[in-house]
Structure 1
């Protein structure tokens, strides 16, 4: 995670594992090690007897230990990995998984354990200091030496902690010390011209992946007293009534709505819009009426009917592999998924180019895997996979999944998604 300047970063198996990030810092780890050594050295195992009297005397320590264990158990995942490698996936009963899933990011529940471990590292040897304080009056120098040693260790650990986390401290300082001036991402003159259309009362769009773009759209809407169909601040808007209203707006475009296609994955949806199409600031804009702006040409709209998926930074990939020069190299067992294309109802042809593809499994689904899509006319060779699919309804997030089932590496160079007409010809 880039916090330590001494310890090498571990790659993660999934992108969301930062939620359970619990690095204590090298200074705290060293202090914890010293405290544990001292605590163990103070235990006389030969005289330890497990009974009620002992438990009653240690109730505070037992309580702290239980809190730490419960915190760790609540934060742990049934998917066990080391670095970017999956070690095991422990099956759990559906009832437990349902309760566990109440917490969106259960990894954060490790924080209480972290706090207690830090406190224990600092204060865990208080019994040692207390014992020193009961020394005879004629031995005060021993107490002073022991306390001085503790302070010396603490000072060393603080210094080690600050050095270890220094890069992160600098990064956070630079983040908040730098003066930032807000600048809207909507700079094209189109927007001011469009806002002159008095009929427009609503912005209909799918929440963009770029938060800054969402805020820019929201600012524009606010300045012109226009409603927006989505927003996000820490949490998104998930309401059945709102979603039904948005679905109706998408299905039956009206001239009081301005439709914004904010993501490149919505190109197909934009191309099938029933109305005029405009383009500004990398956003496709649909409107059923006429705006005082240049419309996209027929050729420009036709170009949107073709999606060319490229690969970089291992986005939408699970398992071993890499993306290099726009080509995906997928190791045995690896899975390529995405690109979450918004595909309106219709027929599509999907073409995959690469090498070693005859050993790959290919399938499609949407809604994060909950709804599979049947594929037809599958043709598969070493360098090419072709198939068709029929979207019987509007698909918000079409995925093409390719899994390497061979014992050797395969390459995926491109994925093409093309709209076909009812006669299975490319749409003109």
Structure 2
């Protein structure tokens, strides 16, 4: 199915792939509109983004980035943790879209959000790419489109979309699988280099968690070349070049700018449970939720009841096929498949093993009990801590299972049997996903709920101010919650002010704490007390700073009167 140039592969034409992709994309867009509606596609409608959830961070990060002057690196944001700078990568604002729309900013409306566009583009690409992948194992367009329906109903995309929105871009993972599945086409050095370099850059500009995922798939692709003893010497050149080019792009965007450490705590907490592939975690309609530890919802890997059913069908069809081979039916073809697919099978097993170990480790847990702990060297732990939510690697395992279930059913089964199995499993998947679809539909129907700031007094006090300073910086999010911290950031950017703290994925909290002392002494360059609006933890602190203190909506606001 991978490197076998059989009659199915030879029957594929460019025109047909375009048709399959377009119809698959249409299926994806229909699923998106049915689940999320039309309203969020209005680029001037941002009320659904200001709910105090993670999507608020992404949107407000974009607003700060749009308001920032152009710098090098081009993804640099000033004003969001003033006087420090950050990068659009660390607000999870989808750098690929943020940079593009910042270029267009002068012609865009004053209020502009691209998250609705991102959502429908994601479903469109997931539907189209998955249909093309399934085509590698069948000549039936209908089976391709039924197969794309499973991917468009991916529990992983539903869980992440408009939560950790950039992480819903699973078309990146499907592209990696697609390049590998269509290996005969990508066998030349130029095509390998172009495909993997382009994909790695795309993944980096969507979310940095896609970088290691793509690199593991690329490793499997190269490992297959080694097993086949062809093209592997080229891989020694193209793989390092691909990584080097991506590092240059990341540098140009600002991934290595001073924004805090790249490692973070939580490795092993945000892992995948051993039961994750079959644990609906309160999202599905039929199967019972299994116990997990706190934080392991990051490793949500539920396949869906339809895919579980299809997995059983795939195993049954393959067993029947093997029995037919033993009886001498299709014996010669079976030998050809064994010879050409051995390298692919071995490299795929290695890739699955890597993804499973990354997702489960370093503490492997079943339910709430620790099965074992992997003791990595310190330098390995530092690397892994950069991607502390290791449970997310289970998505790659899930997509590989989904892909090969469908391909096995289509490739080894008769067309009528495959059609019945695929369509029946899709109906089961739709029924099982009802609860998750309703949850997501209700979430995007929420209106603006950032309502800490209610009094008109805020507008009066903010007049003529250039900076919003929270002293100490942790006052708002510790006392009022993270949604209040988002609201402060939104208030600041809407009033043309900088802010000294905003919750980001990576922040140098030690440096921000040091800045607190300088703010207290009035020693921060370019920050005049007359131009600053202070949010204080106590009234006394404001008096000590010589400020007039107002108590508004539960906050002590300090102003230096002229």
TM-score for both structures, normalised by structure 1: 0.51
Specify which of 521, 534, 547 is matched with residue 259 of structure 1: 534
Find the residue that maps to 1:121 and give its secondary structure.
helix
Q: 1:195 aligns with which of 438, 442, 462?
A: 462
Q: 1:28 deviation in Å?
A: 0.2
Q: In structure 2, which of residues 350, 358, 361 is the aligned counterpart of residue 66 of structure 1? A: 350
Whole-Å separation in 2 of the counterparts to 1:85 and 1:251: 51
Residue 401 (structure 2) aligns with:
117
Structure 1 residue 271: deviation in Å? Answer: 6.2
* 1:26-425 mapped onto 2 (5 Å cutoff): 26-40=305-319, 42-43=321-322, 57-129=341-413, 146-176=414-444, 178=445, 180-181=447-448, 184-196=451-463, 201-204=467-470, 205-206=473-474, 208=477, 210-232=481-503, 235-238=505-508, 244-250=514-520, 255-256=529-530, 257-261=532-536, 274-275=544-545, 277-286=549-558, 289=560
Q: Tell me the SS of whatever aligns to 1:220.
A: helix
Matches of 2:379 and 2:486 in 1, distance apart? 39
- Aligned 8 A contact 1:13 1:86 in 2: no
Measured against aligned partners, the alpha-carbon deviations of 1:83-105 in whole angstroms (never above 9, x if no partner) come to 34445444332222122112132
Q: CA deviation at 1:259?
A: 3.1
Shift of 1:11: 3.6
Cα RMSD (Å): 3.7
TM-score (norm 2): 0.40
Distance of 2:555 and 2:339 partners within structure 1: 67
Deviation at 1:31, TM superposition (A): 0.9
Cα-to-partner distance string for 1:317-356 (whole Å, 9 max, x where unaligned): xxxxxxxxxxxxxxxxxxxxxxxxxxxxxxxxxxxxxxxx
Change (3 A) 1:216 1:95: closer
Alpha-carbon shift at residue 151 of structure 1 (Å): 1.6
In the aligned structure 2, how far is the partner of 1:126 from the partner of 1:81?
35
Q: Is the 8 A contact 1:203 1:221 kept in 2?
A: no
Report Cα offsets for 1:65-117 as digits up to 9, x if no partner.
32222221222222233334445444332222122112132221222211110
Q: State the shift of 1:251 in Å.
A: 6.0
Could you list the runs of 4 or more consecutive aligned residues of structure 1 that deviate by over 6 angstroms after TM superposition?
44-47
Structure with more of its chain in strand, by fraction: 1
Q: Is the 8 A contact 1:200 1:255 kept in 2?
A: no
- Secondary structure (helix, strand or coil) at the match of 2:375 reads coil
Q: Which structure shows the higher helix fraction?
A: 2
Which 10-residue stretch deviates more, 98-107 or 271-280? 271-280
> Does residue 304 of structure 2 align to residue 25 of structure 1?
yes
Give the match's secondary structure for 1:124.
Answer: helix
Q: 1:243 to 1:123 in 2, by over 3 A?
A: same
Structure 1, unmatched stretches of 5+, are 48-52, 130-145, 262-266, 292-428
Residue number among 278, 285, 288 corresponding to 1:8 in the alignment: 288
1:258 match: secondary structure = strand
What is the CA–CA distance in structure 2 between the aligned matches of 1:123 and 1:231, rounded to whole Å? 46
Spell out, residue by residue over 1:257-302, the C-alpha distance to the aligned partner (whole angstroms, 9 max, x if none): 43325xxxxx6x7766634654322333345x469xxxxxxxxxxx
CA distance in 2 between partners of 1:13 and 1:270 (Å):
41
Residues 139-179 of structure 1 deviation map (CA, whole Å, 9 limit, x = unaligned) = xxxxxxx4322222222211111111111112222333x37
**Secondary structure at the counterpart of residue 58 of structure 1:** helix
For residue 30 of structure 1, report the CA deviation from its aligned partner. 1.4
Q: What is the distance in 2 between the residues matched to 1:122 and 1:65?
A: 18
Distance 1:54 1:148, change over 3 A: closer
In the alignment, is the contact (CA less than 8 A) between 2:409 and 2:418 conserved in 1? Answer: no
Structure 1 residue 186 displacement after superposition: 0.6
Instruction: Report the Cα distance in structure 1 between the residues aligned to 2:556 and 2:317, rounded to whole angstroms.
Output: 66
Return the index of the structure with the highest Cα Rg.
Answer: 1
Matched positions, count: 261
